[in-house]
Chains A and B, each alone.
Chain A
Amino acid sequence: QLQLQESGPGLVKPSETLSLTCTVSGASISGSNYYWGWIRQPPGKGLEWIASIFYSGRTYYNPSLKTRVTVSVDMSKNQFSLNLNSVTAADTAVYYCARPQQQSVGGCFDIWGQGTMVTVSS
């Protein structure tokens, strides 16, 4: 059974870098043909897609975050990661990793991690 689990600091200082990892269990990222995704949700607000990454390393980013975001894959650990630099209070959110239903394209997400709350505060 495929499961995703986010991990990383729950508190990040303004102007620093938010770094999160999604560990995939029950399936291998390598050769999986999915665009693994990151989505976030500020408190009381809606969902925002951040980025997606293919196992080969091909990436797509939300234009509103593109200058600050990097996603990467570590197939040896079966993980993919998110780095968001120069954070402000507006980046405070629950961050989810997710796998789309469809292979090889941007899809809708049928497998989600439980989410991790990240607060940006000094």
Chain B
Amino acid sequence: EIVLTQSPATLSLSPGERATLSCRASQSVSSYLAWYQQKPGQAPRLLIHDASNRATGIPARFSGSGSGTDFTLTISSLEPEDSASYYCQQRLSWPLTFGGGTKVEIK
């Protein structure tokens, strides 16, 4: 089973600042990594697939990078509505696995 470790657990930043979220895999997942955003009481929303491809309708301030075992989700300029939890997920192999999440708080 591929274990995904996200850091930091919580990120507290001001509007307009840059957010950098990390996801590290216990073994290579190639580029088969996705990022989700989840707000309280809502289902997760796919942001990024295959490491760096924005899903349909996702604003350009969200970007993903990395390959192998180290991945980054960057929010270039935080908006108040970006306050949420963010999860990574690998799809290289079964079982599908998620990271533990990073909570982004907007000051």
Interface centre among B38, B43, B46, by most chain A C-beta atoms within 10 angstroms, is: B43
Question: Total contacts A to B, CB within 8 angstroms?
Answer: 59
Which of the four size classes fits the interface of chain B?
20 to 34
Distance (whole angstroms) from the CB of B29 to the closest CB of chain A: 11
CB-CB contacts of A58-93 with B at 8 A, as 1s and 0s? 001111000000000000000000000000000000
Which B residues between 90 and 104 are near A, CB-CB below 8 angstroms? 91, 93-101
Known: A46-B99, A63-B1. Is A108-B91 also a contact (CB below 8 A)?
yes
**Contact of B49 with A101 in the complex, beta carbons under 8 Å:** yes
The stretch that binds B, out of A9-17, A24-32, A109-117, is: A109-117
Q: Which residues of A contact B55 (CB under 8 A)?
A: 101, 110
The yes or no answer to A102 lying at the interface (CB within 8 A) is yes
Chain B residues near A109: list those with CB within 8 A: 44, 46, 89
Q: Is the CB of B49 within 8 A of A49?
A: no
Interface residue? B75 (CB, 8 A)? no
Measured in the bound complex, the distance between the Cα atoms of B91 and A37 in whole Å is 12
Indicate if the CB atoms of A108 and B1 lie closer than 8 Å.
no
Find chain B residues with CB under 8 A from A34 CB: none
B63-107 contacts to A (CB < 8 Å):
87, 89, 91, 93-101
> Given A62-B95, A108-B49, do A47 and B43 touch, yes or no (CB 8 Å)?
no
Q: Which 6 A-B pairs have the closest CB atoms?
A: A108-B34, A112-B43, A49-B96, A47-B98, A110-B46, A60-B94
- Chain A residues packing against B (C-beta within 8 Å): 37, 46-49, 52, 60-63, 96, 98, 100-102, 105-110, 112-115
